[in-house]
Amino acid sequence: MEFNASQLMEAKRQIDSTLHKLRETVKTLEAKENPNRYKSQITLAKRRIEAFEISAALIEREVNKPSIH
């Protein structure tokens, strides 16, 4: 599939927003009185953070790739 720069930048903006929310979720859960109770949610959020970071990096790479005409 082909995407234009505008579509890619909007996707990255949405990913960045989701990353921010996930990071805040992890902070909140880890700060709870008994964070082990939330271990699975914390693990899931951290895995999602990693996946979104990879996606954002790949989008950034694609946007910054020199165009060959």
pLDDT value of position 3: 93
pLDDT value of position 68: 60
Q: Give domain limits for the chain.
A: 11-64
Cα–Cα distance for residue pair 21/65, rounded to 1 Å = 28
pLDDT value of position 59: 97
- Of 61, 69, 53, the closest CA to residue 5 belongs to 61
pLDDT value of position 42: 98
pLDDT value of position 66: 85
pLDDT one-digit tens code per residue, 9-67: 999 999 999 999 999 999 999 999 999 999 999 999 999 999 999 999 999 999 998 87
